[in-house]
Amino acid sequence: MAQILAPSTQWQMRITKSSPNASPITSNMWSSLLVKQNKKVAPISSAKFRVMAIKSDDSTINRLEGLLNLDVAPFTDKIIAEYIWIGGTGIDVRSKSRTIARPVEHPSELPKWNYDGSSTGQAPGEDSEVILYPQAIFKDPFRGGNNILVICDSYTPAGEPIPTNKRHRAAEIFSNPKVQAEVPWYGIEQEYTLLQTNVKWPLGWPVGGYPGPQGPYYCSAGADKSFGRDISDAHYKACLYAGINISGTNGEVMPGQWEYQVGPSVGIEAGDHIWASRYILERITEQAGVVLTLDPKPIEGDWNGAGCHTNYSTKSMREDGGFEVIKKAILNLSLRHQDHISAYGEGNERRLTGKHETANINTFSWGVANRGCSIRVGRDTEKNGKGYLEDRRPASNMDPYIVTSLLAETTLLWEPTLEAEALAAQKLALKV
């Protein structure tokens, strides 16, 4: 992200009122993407937008569309709540729907629920019940109206967070008075790659082959350079509709790869908004017949990987003299480099090679305007003597609850020994 601005006044915990002109995403919005064929699956030519579709009888489609777009508000106060949680891999999103008696504005108005944890890899079959605690709500861009998406975390029936519940620990860190006093802001750059459905090869690439080398694709326009723009734009608008604090989007260096930014967000809100945005992206790619992957290095070789760069600042960093606070934070981050790397996403070693705008995974580094470092500081931050830092190490499949809370813990709560701090300062040529 180019800069950290003031965070949105909308918080993730409360839902905004519906716009009278807003409408949910429907399947007919994909008419520009889908190819009508004779009741069989086949791709478009590899040189163009590659999306799979199955042709059905038009009357069947119209009847289904009519039911999907039914406005039930004149007939009932009931709404549909889509409960969303993180599955057993720590990166998959799961969801199921339930009817709520009336519209709600806060997660405390929603009941807890449960699911079969043995089917998600989160509980044994003989004791499979896992309890969902509603934590944040967003407007549902798919159903529209007063219907909502509900971000939940998972607990045992006894009330203990299950191992894949990383939100619980993050909430503890963000509720610490020292952390609250520093009002940590986050701007997260989520990169992702779109794949063709059956061959699991990037969108726009010839099957089994490669496009021209990187260079013309970043922030590009044109049918021979940009693949998946409709998905990116649909996701952008759906996030705005939902109340997610999305701040931008762009095509990435590798063709078929995109990025969107969420933030500035305060504390636990950053993780809630990223997970909600990922869920919406999964649903949109599902509708479009495209596969979403957050693999940090989906294609080996001379191709950029996918990261989740995390911009971070505290109140002290944003005030006069903040650059000195940033340098102290960088010292702490250097001393806990391996702790962060181990928590920054699976398969990250394939991405952090020292090439393709990354630092080597085994070496901590920092620099001003240097995208080959672990931590980058912007020119404006150096010039103004205050601002933010960018942690470029997190992989695209990182858990935002872990990354955001670990940054706060390392820079605000963890204290190194004076000896370790002095040695790190000498090594990094930092005068603190």
Domain with CATH 3.10.20.70 in the chain: 71-164
- List where CATH 3.30.590.10 sits in the chain: 175-428
pLDDT surpasses 80 at 234: yes
For 248-306, where are the alpha helices, taking DSSP H only?
A: 269-288
Element (H, E) at 223: none
Q: Is the pLDDT of residue 269 over 60?
A: yes
pLDDT at 3 over 80: no
Kindly indicate the confidence band of residue 390, based on its pLDDT and cuts at 50, 70 and 90: very high
Q: What is the mean pLDDT of residues 47-70?
A: 65
Chain centre distance of CA 294: 9
The answer to whether domain 71-164 has CATH 3.10.20.70 is yes
Q: Which of 62, 59, 56, 57 is nearest to 41 (CA)?
A: 56
Residue 154: φ, ψ to 5°: -115, 140
For domain 175-428, say whether CATH 1.10.20.60 is its number. no
Q: What angle do CA 203, 393, 170 make, to 5 degrees?
A: 105
Whether the predicted pLDDT of 214 surpasses 90: yes
**Amino acid residing at 262:** V
Using DSSP, state whether 154 is helix, strand or coil: strand
Q: Is the pLDDT of residue 301 over 90?
A: yes
Residue 20: Cβ-neighbour burial (10 angstroms; 0-12, 13-18, 19+): exposed
Tens of pLDDT, residue by residue over 180-212, are 999 999 999 999 999 999 898 999 999 989 999
Q: Which residues contact 395 (CB under 8 A, 6 or more apart)?
A: 294, 296, 305, 306, 307, 308, 344, 345, 346, 347, 348, 351
Q: Quickly tell me which residue has 């999305």 as its tokens.
A: 246
In this prediction the pTM is 0.87
